[in-house]
Amino acid sequence: MWATAWHDGGVDDHAFIDAIRAGDREAFGLLVDRESAAVYRTCVRILGRQHDAEDVTQESFVAAFRALASYRGDGPPRAWLLRIATRQAYRRLSQRRPTAELEAAGEVALADAGADPQRVVAAVETRDEVRDAVAALPEPYREVLSLRFFGELSLAEVAEATGRPLGTVKTHLRRGLERLRPLVAAGGADR
Amino acid sequence: MSRYPYGPDELDRNDPELDEVAQRLERYSDNRRGEPPVGLAARIHAAIDDEPDPARGWWQSLIAGPRTWRPMMRTMAVAGVAALAVVGALAVAQLIGDVPPNVGASPSPEVIESPSELPSASPSPTASPSPSPSPSPTVAPTSVPTAPPASSPLPTATDDDDDDDDDETPEPSESDDNSGSGGGGGDDDD
């Protein structure tokens, strides 16, 4: 039912969200089809390693399915999913071995920067610098910045996903960015 | 390009350096815009299929249908048995506790009996047929069989119409049973 309605462009968001909250597996399957790419991209930006991002994307959907009762349905499902995914990704990051960080940096750089060694090195340094700087932020700044920039959510969506007032989210965004000022001071190549 | 490109107005203040930090984060994300590998969605679907039905809130379980009612019914049955056990224990405790002390509702009949014994003494219940005028007010509240005069305080309006003793004896019991509706009607009329 949901798949057909989705292909016909006739999905009613409210009915869709209600079906997800009621544990409708078909509706949740459609949610996987719609949002897995966004969740995966967010995980890659946090983890820097495609293999880990795949695992965490899968784990995030499973965790979301198990926690359907906690989904209030007052915001877009993507924001709710991405909040779960960012938490799972940072948990994975905290468990990672130091050598795995180097492997992750090299894997991402080789995949995205092409064969030019100088560009690979620059990309590795820049990406690790940004990713590490955000990962080192305390909560709630890390969560807000990750959802806003890595998850590409609007501030209103971040507010809905986290259950915080919009003004509070803006404050967290500003304070988080202030803590990242050294990034700008240090410069660095952004392709 | 991000779904929601960063704008300086998001911070509610003018700070070019913070804008630059934000734009740098945005560029980082733009450079990581790869598509997920083929088969990831299928892998997630398979993982979800292996999952049991998710836990729900009780109101959703109620809506979901009888299949999900069973655990709730079991819980309610256990709660009901526990409640009955508590009520039973309290009743037994009250029965045991009634005998020695004068606690709760038990003293009220004793208090009523004692005044009847004081003025009219013991013969009053036995002599109830003969000295009807004198003991009648004292005996009236005490015992049901000597109720003919006792009915006088309760149904005052009906006593004027019905003077028969046979009719009056059941009336106190009836008036007790119907005290809710009858008393209420009388109050409303007044």
Q: What is the pLDDT of residues B23-55, one digit of tens each?
A: 889 988 888 877 888 899 999 999 988 888 776
Give CA–CA dist A81/A23, Å, rounded. Answer: 15
What pLDDT shows up at residue B145?
47
Q: What is the pLDDT of residues B105-120, one digit of tens each?
A: 555 554 455 454 445 4
Give CA–CA dist B189/B121, Å, rounded. Answer: 40
Task: Phi first, then psi: give them for residue A31, nearest 5 degrees.
Answer: -65, -40
Does A154 contact B4 at a Cβ distance shorter than 8 Å?
Answer: yes
The pair of three-digit structure tokens given for residue B39, joined into one six-digit string: 């088969």
What is the residue-averaged pLDDT of chain B? Answer: 63
Least confident of A129-138, B3-12, B14-23: B3-12
Q: Is the ipTM reported for this complex over the cut 0.90? A: no
What pLDDT shows up at residue A151?
92
User: Contact at 8 Å (CB) between B54 and A23?
Assistant: yes
Q: Give the nearest chain A residue to B4 (CA atoms).
A: A154
Give CA–CA dist A150/A158, Å, rounded. Answer: 12
SS3 A17: helix
- DSSP class of residue A76 equals -
**Nearest CB to A180 within list B21, B29, B60:** B21
Residue B132 has pLDDT above 80, yes or no: no
Q: At B138, is the pLDDT very low, low, confident or very high (cuts 50, 70, 90)?
A: very low
Residue A43 has pLDDT above 60, yes or no: yes
User: Contact at 8 Å (CB) between B142 and B119?
Assistant: no
Pick the residue of A2, A32, A60, A150 with the most B CBs within 10 A to test the interface with B by mutation.
Answer: A32
DSSP B133-182: TTTHHHHTTT-STTHHHHTTTS-HHHHHH---HHHHTHHHHHHHHTHHHH
What pLDDT shows up at residue B51?
82
Q: At A187, is the pLDDT very low, low, confident or very high (cuts 50, 70, 90)?
A: low
Domains belonging to chain A, first-starting first, are 2-186 (1.10.1740.10)
Give CA–CA dist B163/B171, Å, rounded. Answer: 12
Q: Global pTM?
A: 0.58
What pLDDT shows up at residue B69?
57
Q: At A87, is the pLDDT very low, low, confident or very high (cuts 50, 70, 90)?
A: very high
Angle at A112 between CA A110 and CA A114, to 5 degrees: 65
